[in-house]
A = this chain, B = another copy of it.
């Protein structure tokens, strides 16, 4: 018996894709555009890699387990996006600017409200202060032409010498290794801290499992997070990475950019030691920040 003929025939995969695209309606044009994009690329992925049904079910199960690993305090999907370089890709398409600007980098999951501190403050107030390598971080906030930006607020957060943020470590006081600093007339900033350590992303969930299956390490190279806001300028969220870190070439989150890497150099200069009010030996890291003025051409 010959079955009847009717309707669109998705007998070839590209006809199927067209049928899905054709089904997208609704008043939200941008949503349609985004869904059309993801449908097109995921269908192309299926046609190219031809997952078996067992492989597909394994992928579905991975997504379910990733969802079940998410809590109020942990977002395993954002971690997955980080580990596939997608968070960095989204960051890049959103922060295009003049070549002289300081590039942005991903925010990561450890931001929390920081205490305002006076310029030059010690931000290491936990046990890391005695244990870690003392460091002075300093620089100037300017626009892309080098003009100082006064009144810029730097929101700074970092892990300690063992790779832990205050929120992960009962021995650190709340707000430790965090600060809000406001620049003066010359746009300069500085603070005293300990050199942060590289640290692993959480590996006890499905994403950790995937990293292991891919032979990838979970390490992020040592870094300090900075978010800088100033009137008349685009806000910037970025990292300062410590030069020489062994994971700089293989950041698990793919967030390293050339212009964000600065050395923490031992400083033996007596004048600087006095200026920074350091008592013992210390490392010095210089990191200038060039903001994009609002309205500046992308």
Contact = CB atoms under 8 A, between A and B. Distances in A.
A48 B210 CA distance: 27
Interface string A64-88: 1011101000010110010011111
Given A6-B261, A7-B248, A248-B7, A90 B213 contact: no
A115 to B, nearest CB: 26
A111 to B, nearest CB: 13
Max count, chain B CB within 10 A of own CB: residue among A27, A49, A261: A49
Contacts of A258: 3, 5-7, 9, 11
Given A26-B215, A60-B78, A85 B4 contact: no
Interface of A is mostly: helix
A167 B87 CA distance: 41
A110 interface: no
A139 B1 contact: yes
A214 B39 CA distance: 13
A9 B66 contact: no
Nearest to A258: B9
Contacts of A216: 23-26
Nearest to A243: B4
B1 A88 contact: no
A214 B37 contact: no
A35 interface: yes
Given A3-B262, A84-B39, A250-B23, A31 B213 contact: yes
Given A19-B254, A47-B89, A67-B70, A1 B60 contact: no
B13 A89 contact: yes
Interface in A233-282: 243-244, 248-250, 254, 256-263
Contacts of A49: 33-34, 37-38
Contact of A6 (B30, B34, B248): B248
Contact of A13 (B20, B32, B45, B93): B93
A184 to B, nearest CB: 18
Contacts of A32: 214
A290 to B, nearest CB: 11
Given A37-B48, A93-B13, A24 B257 contact: no
Contacts of A56: 81, 87, 90
A131 interface: no
A7 B256 contact: yes
Interface string A115-153: 000000000000000000000000100000000000000
14 contacts: A4-B261, A6-B243, A10-B85, A11-B257, A17-B85, A19-B254, A26-B213, A38-B84, A39-B84, A42-B86, A51-B93, A63-B67, A64-B75, A67-B68
